[in-house]
């Protein structure tokens, strides 16, 4: 709203205003301030011009006009730079200052409109008319006054610029115009706002404007205080803790308990001294403790350092259990825990004997137990620890792809921890435990780094006396640890690691062995675990055989243990609820406990068939039967291989075919047969990994059978690699393969002649019931496996 509009409005509202007569009065110009009627204001008057005006007033009736300058700059004020509305005032008390200035109290009496300026020198003088205003009263005025008063109250409460007494003072004003004037004098209103209000002659309008401005002020103050309190809350939280901590300290000091932080630090120092650390480690740790002492308790670094120091303190730097190598006792422990495993136990005892003789000087080789799951690798490790009186810890390496899992993360990472080796040592609590690293064949390398290098350092006796973990930063001595590793297969162990280890193979158990283990070890253990006595639950040999044969299919005894546990659980329940006193589980009862049998005993073919031969394969979980099927179709010559065969097995199939072709005439295969027939070789059963050369003779047998129409004896199983000239080459995993053949009900087992030497190591149990025939040439295989005579009455050459 411009000033001109204002004047317009004032004229419009002239109803409320009565015009007074004009008078000529001295003018005191005001710099940056406005004086309202009904207000006493002390003014310091310094300018010559103003002092002259004041003197003139004092000489007359003490009346002056106070008019604000539009912009106050120069010493002498020109009439043009003054507003057209001012305030009539009476001069009250005056003081003359030593510097010549005058201090005067001026009482505003009424608004005054300038009619004309009558003089400029020696002081300003103007003809003015006083504007007297009637006090309007109506519901609206009342309501507006209340609103303004309550706004003002909030404003005073929130703002800092006015004392609380301003509120009752304002309440005492009963004229709307005066109320507006009084509030406009609050420090938060600007000079321009005040001048605008001075020039507004309608009291109601003044009040409206004040209401508007107050509203804005209150809003500003509210936002301000909200921001403030939010900031405050944030600050308070962190300060609160600080104050509380300080208070706690003060209280404890008062009670004579000393500074708690200092106490913690000195406790830590003591612990470090007593931790048996090597000197350099101790020094390092103490340095960290000192850093801790210097940091304020609230520093985020404190937790990091604390954690680090705690780790250092928790490690068994000097804690050793004495070795008690009594070989007789060790043998007893091994026998007590395990059935059979004669050669394995002997190797372990030899290992201990060497340790005993060589003592500390000996760098212990790393034992590696290789065999299918559940054959007792872990429990052998435990027994070794028990026999030596050492602690036992184990850690699985399966799926580890990151060096940091072994060696830890640097402390700079958030949440960093030492690697698993150091964690294992902490769990062991001694520096010379038996430390089992499981599944070393499942360690992998990828972009996150190769854990093999770290493992090598762990296992290498030349290096592991100062194993470095990224987190610890100080070396840890692993040289007193007996490391034992386990693996399912040898070939996937990184060669560098394999070279360091002494491999002990544990191939798997025969049915008879499993029954013995179940009876002598697994059942007693499950009885104890279920709170049963040997009288309360008995399993006959028959039932155990049935469990092994029809409910499990594995090289080890894990599932046997699980099934025995299932029976124990059910019997324990029957005994607990009183429905039985004791149970004898016979062969015929097994089904009622475990449900229908899961594996058909004797997976051998049911009939003698053409084009189908049975082989035995070795898998990481023991031996298994595989079937090779061959069929021929008229058409373009082709060799189709299916059944997800590995590359070596495919080559083996091609070799078998080439051999058969080269001997076509002798074998009685019609000439020209291969030119117009496609041959399909299929190996069913998807789950069994099918690779390796040992199915060579099985493929050749199936091929010849398909091409000649002679059936293959179903009770014959075979294994052996084939050369192009039909020679049979040796294979691995003989014991597992025989076990598989035996439990499948095979009668005749054909194996490479060159594997004869391995037979000595195979227990009689495994050989029982099998006619084992070593063969050196495929012709021998065909002779035994194929029924009937060769096509044209010829015998294979």
**Which residues are marked as active site?**
694, 737
CB of 378 to ligand ADP, least distance (A): 3
Tell me how far apart the alpha carbons of residues 528 and 366 are, in angstroms, rounded to a whole number.
Answer: 34
DSSP H or E stretch at residue 625: strand 622-634
Selected range binding ligand ADP among 23-31, 367-375, 460-468, 663-671, rule: CB under 6 A: 367-375
Task: Spell out a b/e string for 649-668, using b for 16 or more CB atoms within 10 Å of the CB, else e.
Answer: beebbebbbebbeebbeebb
State how beta strands 366-370 and 482-487 pair.
parallel
Which of the ranges 300-308, 336-344, 678-686, 691-699 carries the binding residues for ligand ADP, by CB under 6 A?
A: 336-344
By CB under 6 A, which span of 334-342, 678-686, 718-726, 746-754 interacts with ligand ADP?
A: 334-342
- Of 203 and 556, which CB lies nearer to ligand ADP in the complex structure? 556
Residue closer to ligand ADP by CB (options 558, 680) is 558
Q: Among 81, 56, 79, which residue's Cα sits nearest to residue 71? A: 81
- Mapped onto helix, strand or coil, the DSSP state of residue 231 is helix
515 forms part of the interface with ligand ADP (CB under 6 A): no
538-597 residues in contact with ligand ADP (CB under 6 A) are: 556-558, 561
Q: How far is the CB of 515 from ligand ADP (least distance, A)?
A: 12
Select 231 or 529, whichever has its Cβ closest to ligand ADP.
529
Name the helix (H) or strand (E) containing 319: none
Six-digit token string for 608: 């003698």
Give dist(CA 369, CA 341) in Å, integer: 12
Q: What backbone torsions phi and psi does residue 524 show, to the nearest 5 degrees?
A: -55, -40
**Residue 397 to residue 124: CA distance in whole angstroms:** 102
In DSSP notation, 428-486 reads: H-SSS-EEEEE-GGG---BTTB-HHHHHHHHH-TTTGGGEE-TTT-SEE--TT-EEEEE
Binding mask 615-634 for ligand ADP (x = CB under 6 A): --------------------
Q: DSSP 3-state assignment of 504?
A: strand
Cis peptide before 122 (omega within 30 of 0): yes
Among the listed ranges 332-340, 603-611, 633-641, 712-720, the one in contact with ligand ADP (CB under 6 A) is 332-340
Interface with ligand ADP (CB under 6 A), residue total 17
Could you tell me which of 722, 775, 723 has the C-alpha nearest to residue 750?
Answer: 775
Among candidate residues 543, 548, 573, the one with its CA nearest the CA of residue 558 = 548
| Minimum gap (Å) between residue 623 Cβ and ligand ADP | 16
Environment class of residue 390 by beta-carbon count within 10 Å: exposed (0-12), middle (13-18) or buried (19+)?
buried
Nearest approach in angstroms of CB 604 to ligand ADP is 28
CB of 379 to ligand ADP, least distance (A): 4
Q: How far is the CB of 435 from ligand ADP (least distance, A)?
A: 15
CA pair distance 321, 628, nearest whole angstrom: 57
Judged by CB under 6 A, the residue of 82, 112, 128, 517 near ligand ADP is 517
User: Least CB distance from residue 511 to ligand ADP, whole Å?
Assistant: 14
Rule CB under 6 A: say whether 339 interacts with ligand ADP. Answer: yes
What does DSSP say about strands 728-729 and 716-718: parallel, antiparallel, or unpaired? unpaired
* Residue among 398 and 670 whose Cβ is closer to ligand ADP: 398
> Considering beta carbons, is residue 519 or 680 the nearer one to ligand ADP?
519
Instruction: Pick the closer one to ligand ADP by CB: 493 or 517.
Output: 517
Residue 215 or 763: the one with the smaller Cβ distance to ligand ADP is 763
Binding residue for ligand ADP, selected from 37, 176, 340, 693, defined by CB under 6 A: 340
Q: Select from 521, 659, 674, 790 the one that contacts ligand ADP (CB under 6 A).
A: 521
Q: Which class for 80: exposed (0-12), middle (13-18), buried (19 or more C-beta within 10 A)? A: exposed
CA distance 109 to 39: 8
Angstrom distance (rounded) from CA 383 to CA 331? 10
Contact 101, 49 (CB under 8 A): no
Q: Does 343 bind ligand ADP (CB under 6 A)?
A: no
In this structure, the strands spanning 622-634 and 612-619 are antiparallel
- Nearest distance in Å: CB 557, ligand ADP: 5
Closest CB to ligand ADP belongs to which residue? 376
Residues 6+ apart with CB under 8 A from 544: 515, 518, 519
* Extended beta strands in 465-621, E state: 467-468, 475-476, 482-487, 501-505, 537-539, 583-585, 609-610, 612-619
CB of 597 to ligand ADP, least distance (A): 22
> If binding is defined by CB under 6 A, does position 338 make contact with ligand ADP?
yes
Q: How far is the CB of 436 from ligand ADP (least distance, A)?
A: 9
Nearer to ligand ADP, 377 or 546 (CB): 377
Closer CB to ligand ADP, residue 91 or residue 557? Answer: 557
Nearer to ligand ADP, 381 or 433 (CB): 381
Query: Site map for ligand ADP, 371-410, x if CB under 6 A?
Result: --xxxxxxx-------------------------------
Q: How far is the CB of 561 from ligand ADP (least distance, A)?
A: 5
Q: How far apart (Å, rounded) are the C-alpha atoms in residues 704 and 697?
A: 10
713 binds ligand ADP (CB under 6 A): no
CB of 346 to ligand ADP, least distance (A): 14
193 alpha carbon, distance to own chain's centre? 62
Between 316 and 381, whose beta carbon lies closer to ligand ADP?
381
Distance from C-alpha of 553 to C-alpha of 625, rounded to nearest angstrom: 12
* Beta carbon nearer to ligand ADP, 152 or 509: 509
Long-range Cβ contact pairs of 324-333 (< 8 A, separation 24 or more): 324/388, 324/389, 325/352, 325/355, 325/356, 325/388, 327/352, 327/353, 327/356, 329/387, 330/387, 330/388, 333/383, 333/386, 333/387
Residue keyed to tokens 């020039």: 199
Given the rule CB under 6 A, which residues bind ligand ADP? 338-341, 373-379, 517, 521, 556-558, 561
């Amino acid at each position: 709203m411009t000033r001109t509009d204002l004047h317009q409005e004032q004229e419009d509202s002239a109803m409320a205003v009565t015009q007074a007569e004009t008078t000529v009065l001295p003018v005191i110009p005001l710099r940056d301030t406005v004086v309202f009627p009904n207000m006493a204001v002390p003014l310091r008057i310094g300018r010559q011009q103003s002092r002259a005006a004041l003197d003139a007033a004092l000489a007359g009736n003490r009346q002056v006009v106070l008019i604000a300058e539009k912009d106050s700059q120069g010493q002498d004020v020109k009439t043009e730079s003054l507003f057209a509305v001012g305030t009539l005032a009476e001069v009250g008390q005056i003081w003359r200052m030593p510097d010549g200035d005058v201090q005067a109290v001026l009482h505003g009496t009424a608004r005054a409109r300038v009619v004309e300026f009558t003089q400029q020198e020696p002081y300003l003088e103007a003809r003015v008319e006083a504007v007297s205003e009637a006090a309007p009263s109506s519901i609206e005025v009342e309501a507006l006054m209340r609103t303004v008063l309550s706004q003002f109250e909030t404003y005073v409460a929130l703002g800092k610029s006015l004392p609380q007494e301003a509120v009752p003072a304002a309440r005492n004003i009963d004229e709307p115009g005066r109320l507006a004037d009084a509030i406009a004098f609050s420090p938060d209103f600007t000079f321009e706002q005040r001048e605008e209000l001075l020039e507004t002659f309608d009291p109601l309008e003044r009040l409206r404007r004040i209401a508007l401005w107050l509203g804005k002020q209150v809003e500003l103050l509210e936002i301000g205080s909200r921001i403030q309190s939010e900031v405050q809350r944030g600050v308070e939280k962190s300060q609160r803790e600080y104050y509380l901590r300080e208070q706690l300290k003060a209280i404890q000091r008062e009670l004579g308990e000393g500074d708690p932080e200092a106490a913690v630090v000195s406790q830590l120092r003591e612990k470090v001294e007593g931790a048996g650390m090597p000197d350099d480690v101790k020094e390092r740790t103490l340095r960290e403790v000192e850093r801790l002492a210097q940091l304020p308790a609230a520093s985020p670094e404190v937790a990091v350092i604390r954690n680090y120091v705690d780790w250092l303190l928790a490690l068994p730097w000097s804690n050793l259990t004495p070795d008690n190598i009594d070989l007789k006792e060790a043998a007893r422990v091994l026998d007590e825990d395990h059935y059979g495993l004669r050669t394995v136990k002997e190797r372990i005892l030899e290992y201990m004997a060497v340790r005993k003789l060589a003592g500390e000087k000996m760098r212990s080789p790393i034992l590696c137990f290789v065999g299918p799951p559940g054959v007792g690798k872990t429990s052998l490790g435990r027994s070794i620890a028990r026999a030596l009186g050492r602690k036992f810890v184990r850690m699985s390496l399966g799926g580890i792809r990151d060096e940091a899992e072994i060696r830890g993360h640097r402390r700079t990472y958030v949440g960093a921890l030492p690697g698993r080796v150091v964690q294992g040592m902490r769990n062991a609590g001694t520096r010379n435990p038996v430390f089992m690293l499981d599944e070393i064949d499942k360690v992998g390398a990828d972009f996150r780094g190769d854990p093999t290098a770290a493992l090598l350092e762990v296992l290498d006796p030349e290096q592991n006396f100062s194993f470095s973990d990224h987190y610890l930063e100080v070396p840890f001595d692993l040289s007193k640890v007996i490391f034992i590793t386990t693996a399912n297969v040898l070939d996937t162990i990184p060669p560098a690691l394999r070279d360091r280890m002494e491999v002990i193979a544990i191939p798997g158990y025969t049915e008879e062995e499993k029954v013995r283990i179940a009876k002598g070890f697994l059942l007693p253990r499950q009885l104890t675990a279920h709170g049963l006595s040997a009288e309360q639950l008995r399993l006959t040999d028959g039932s155990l055989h049935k469990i092994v044969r029809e409910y499990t299919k594995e090289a080890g005894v894990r599932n046997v243990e699980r099934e025995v546990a299932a029976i124990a659980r059910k019997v324990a329940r029957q005994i607990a609820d009183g429905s039985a006193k004791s149970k004898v589980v016979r062969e015929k009862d097994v089904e009622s406990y475990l449900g229908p049998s899961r594996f058909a005993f004797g997976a051998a073919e049911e009939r003698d068939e053409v084009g189908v031969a049975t082989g035995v394969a070795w898998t990481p979980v023991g031996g298994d039967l595989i079937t090779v099927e061959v069929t021929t179709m008229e058409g373009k010559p082709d060799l189709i291989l299916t059944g997800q065969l590995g590359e070596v097995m495919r080559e083996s199939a091609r070799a078998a075919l080439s051999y058969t072709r080269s001997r076509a005439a002798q074998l009685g295969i019609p000439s020209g047969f291969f030119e117009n027939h496609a041959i399909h070789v299929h190996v069913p059963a998807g789950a069994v990994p099918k690779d390796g050369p040992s199915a060579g003779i099985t493929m050749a047998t199936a091929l010849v059978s398909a091409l000649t129409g002679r059936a293959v004896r179903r009770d014959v199983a075979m294994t052996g690699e084939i050369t192009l000239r039909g020679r049979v080459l040796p294979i691995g995993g003989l014991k597992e393969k025989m076990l598989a053949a035996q439990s499948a009900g095979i009668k005749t087992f054909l194996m490479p002649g060159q594997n004869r030497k391995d037979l000595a190591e195979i227990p009689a149990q495994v050989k029982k019931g099998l006619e084992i025939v070593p063969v050196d040439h495929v012709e021998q295989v065909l002779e035994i496996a194929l029924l009937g005579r060769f096509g044209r009455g010829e015998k294979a050459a």
